[in-house]
Amino acid sequence: MLPLTATAQAKTDLTSTLTTVAPRTVAKDFALKDLDGKLQHLTDYRGKVVLINFWGSWCPPCRREMPSMERLYQNLKAEPFAVLAINQSESLDLVFAFTGEIEPAPTFPMLLDDKGKIPPKWGVRGLPASFIVDKQGRIAYRAMGGREFDHPDIEKTLRALIPDFPLAPKSQWKPLRQRDDSEDVQG
């Protein structure tokens, strides 16, 4: 795999806009393994604002936006905020090698969808594709194409979703749907 060159960077300008999703719809749950083999469910992050990013190491805008996601993650680390980056159809070894090539290296969960089952359920037709899920588990914003995620406008939009509000204790949450751990498990 070749490192991202200045020429490729120039061809993949990133934007700082997000598209509002109205009405907000419940995000489809998934179960994917991270690079350490730990199973991650989107519903495990309920109560946090979550940036879901579908990406591939072969995609120039995906490669270019990854460092901005890490900077955003670090900026909001003390808040109820998470980033889940879902790799499309690449091996663990390839994804692991890619993470060593970017600076700053991602510290958020990198999930493996080696069979590509999740993107169609989210309406993803190209990469990169990103979704912002609110604390109630609903899709609030989407972005098709590369973004500069640590841009002040995007950070401001995300911070507006984070404020505390009366949220029932986790023990009183009703499931968004019955979860079957065998469904959509990859790896």
Helix (H, G, I), strand (E, B) or coil at 97: helix
pLDDT at 164: 62
Instruction: Please give the torsion angle defined by the CA atoms of residues 13, 129, 64 and 154, in that order, rounded to the nearest 10 degrees.
Output: 70
Predicted confidence (pLDDT) per residue in 120-174, tens digit: 999 999 999 999 999 999 999 999 999 999 999 999 999 999 986 555 455 555 5
Per-residue pLDDT for 4 more than 50? no
Helix (H, G, I), strand (E, B) or coil at 143: strand
Three-state SS annotation for 21-79: EEEEEECCCCEEEECCCCEEEHHHHCCCEEEEEEECCCCHHHHHHHHHHHHHHHHCCCC
Of 137, 109, 102, nearest to 28 (Cα)? 137
Question: Where exactly are the structural domains of the chain?
Answer: 25-163
Average pLDDT, stretch 9-31? Answer: 86
Distance CA 62, CA 44 (A): 25
CATH superfamily of 25-163: Glutaredoxin (3.40.30.10)
pLDDT at 8: 39
Per-residue pLDDT for 27 more than 80? yes
Average pLDDT, stretch 7-13? Answer: 47
pLDDT at 126: 95
Predicted confidence (pLDDT) per residue in 50-100, tens digit: 999 999 999 999 999 999 999 999 999 999 999 999 999 999 999 999 999
pLDDT at 86: 98
| Band of pLDDT at residue 13, cut at 50, 70 and 90 | confident
| Band of pLDDT at residue 175, cut at 50, 70 and 90 | low
Q: Is the pTM of this model over 0.85?
A: no
